[in-house]
Amino acid sequence: MSHKQGVRYELAPDPEQAALMGRHAGLSRVVENFCLEIVRKKWAQRKAEETYGITGDDLTKVPWSAPALEKEWRAAHGERYPWFAENRLSSRVPKEACRVRAAGFSNYLKSRQGKRKGARMGFPPWRKRKHGSRFRYDADRTKPLDARTVRLPAIGDVAVREDMSWLTSRMATGQARILGATIREQAGRWWISFQIEVDRDDLNKRRQVAADAPACGIDLGLKTFAAIRNSDGTREEIHAPKLLKAAQRALKRANRKLSKSAEDSKNRAKARRRVAALHLRVADRRRDFLHKTTTRLTRTKSAIAVETLNVRGMVKNRRLARALSDAGFGEFVRQLGYKADWYGSRIWKADRFFPSSKTCGACGRINRALALADRTWVCPGCGVLHDRDDNAAGNLLAAMLADTST
């Protein structure tokens, strides 16, 4: 059975290749903004025509789709952007930039019509330099030549800092094929992310969760990242490293130096790279913690009960926003979802308003007066003393087992 998956490797380009990749990132940004400009103009023209009484096929057509946007680009770039042909940039990058914009327009329209799940999507904004440098290639236009080299159209053969044997060996046997690739710059370093379709059956079978593995309930929190209650009666606590909090002193010093440096100076560019490198280190270490934790849980638990958290709403609390963002609850639950599918585990999500913390695990009474600061509480009905997080994990486990049995 094939799975869609992403794998990321760090590139080691020489200065000339890095400059070319920067130009392609700029090209992608220009094309995305061109598409947005065309859609805005033609949509405004269409709305104006409707007020004049024009209807049907006489109205201006808005190029919402990727092929329509590509047609507009091909017609305009020769006159508006002559440097595109003069610099011999890859023609695949504008094609993918049009697809990215078309996907954004599609998500916006579906969200507006109520056909898309999740939060309401806004109209795609202008893409700016501060949003980061990235561009895409479609299909297998870019692919590994060997375990340490990747070929990028219009850029050349670029060295890779990491071993790609996992990918190249599966491509050689037909177990994997590349669907697309994204090249991205962060803190002066370049990465390539391959979107692949891969047959993981042999790998998943070797790492399959044991048949007699316990089920568990997981309560997520800031004081204790994850309080776990297992069906065999054992308990476990996982404490997050709180990496952003640990980096605050260095970030404050780096940001202070950045704010004091002169505009457009070399010192300012150096200070900006320092701030970006600190944020990148925090993000990488958080990603490492989440991957290791979710992999261990999905390979050792037959079923996992988790909360459905409204993270977007929770971060609106300015006192907790930084700590919540540092924890990465949303990414944790997302990773549990696809890894459980890989390793034969199962994820059960409680209803968003399920009172896991306020429900007494002994008698089932709900303590409406429980405050966020109460780490332990005594049930007014049966008098049992509860640890807030452990009790919540037990209630999630019990709810999952009851739901499964029915």
For the chain, give the secondary structure using H, E and C.
CEEEEEEEEEEECCHHHHHHHHHHHHHHHHHHHHHHHHHHHHHHHHHHHHHCCCCHHHCCCCCCCHHHHHHHHHHHHHHHCCHHHHCCCCCHHHHHHHHHHHHHHHHHHHHHCCCCCCCCCCCCCCCCHHHCEEEEEECCCCEEEECCEEEECCCEEEEECCCCHHHHHHHHCCCEEEEEEEEEEECCEEEEEEEEEEECHHHHHHCCCCCCCCEEEEEECCCCCEEEEECCCCEEEECCCCHHHHCHHHHHHHHHHHHHCCCCCHHHHHHHHHHHHHHHHHHHHHHHHHHHHHHHHHHHCCEEEECCCCHHHHCCCCCCHHHHHHHCHHHHHHHHHHHHHHHCCCEEECCCCCCCCCECCCCCCECCCCCCCCCEEECCCCCCEEEHHHHHHHHHHHHHHHHHHC
Tokens of 383: 């008098």
Per-residue confidence at 364, pLDDT binned at 50, 70, 90? confident
- Which candidate in 32, 185, 219, 390 is catalytic? 219
- Give the orientation angle of helix 66-80 with respect to helix 92-112, to 10 degrees: 130
End-to-end CA distance of the chain: 30
Locus of tokens 């799940």: 117
Between residues 253 and 368, which one has the greater pLDDT?
253
Q: How far apart are CA 273 and CA 56, in angstroms?
A: 53
- Which candidate in 32, 72, 326, 389 is catalytic? 389
Q: How many Cα atoms within 13 Å fall on the side-chain side of residue 266?
A: 0
Residue ranges covered by each domain of the chain: 2-201, 215-405
Phi, psi of 126 (to 5 degrees): -65, 145
**Which tens digits make up the pLDDT trace of 133-180?**
999 999 888 999 999 999 999 999 999 999 999 999 999 999 999 999
Is 390 one of the annotated active-site residues of the chain? no
Locus of tokens 């994990």: 393
Q: What is the four-CA torsion angle of 312, 220, 401, 209, rounded to 10 degrees?
A: 100
Tokens of 153: 């159209």
Please state, as a whole number, how many other Cβ atoms lie within 10 Å of the Cβ of residue 387: 15
In this prediction, residues 327-334 reach a mean pLDDT of 94
Per-residue confidence at 126, pLDDT binned at 50, 70, 90? very high
Q: How far apart are CA 337 and CA 270, in angstroms?
A: 40
Is 219 one of the annotated active-site residues of the chain? yes
Locus of tokens 């904004």: 125
- The pLDDT assigned to 375 comes to 87
Q: Is pLDDT of 1 > 80? A: no
- The pLDDT assigned to 311 comes to 87
pTM above 0.85, yes or no: yes
**Which tens digits make up the pLDDT trace of 76-100?**
999 999 999 888 899 999 999 999 9
Closest CA to 35 of 86, 84, 103: 103
Phi, psi of 182 (to 5 degrees): -120, 130
| C-alpha 281 chain-centroid distance | 17
Q: Is pLDDT of 252 > 80? A: yes
Closest CA to 195 of 183, 208, 182, 210: 182
- The pLDDT assigned to 165 comes to 96
In this prediction, residues 265-288 reach a mean pLDDT of 94
Is 389 one of the annotated active-site residues of the chain? yes
- The pLDDT assigned to 216 comes to 95
Q: Is pLDDT of 118 > 80? A: no
- Which candidate in 32, 72, 96, 307 is catalytic? 307
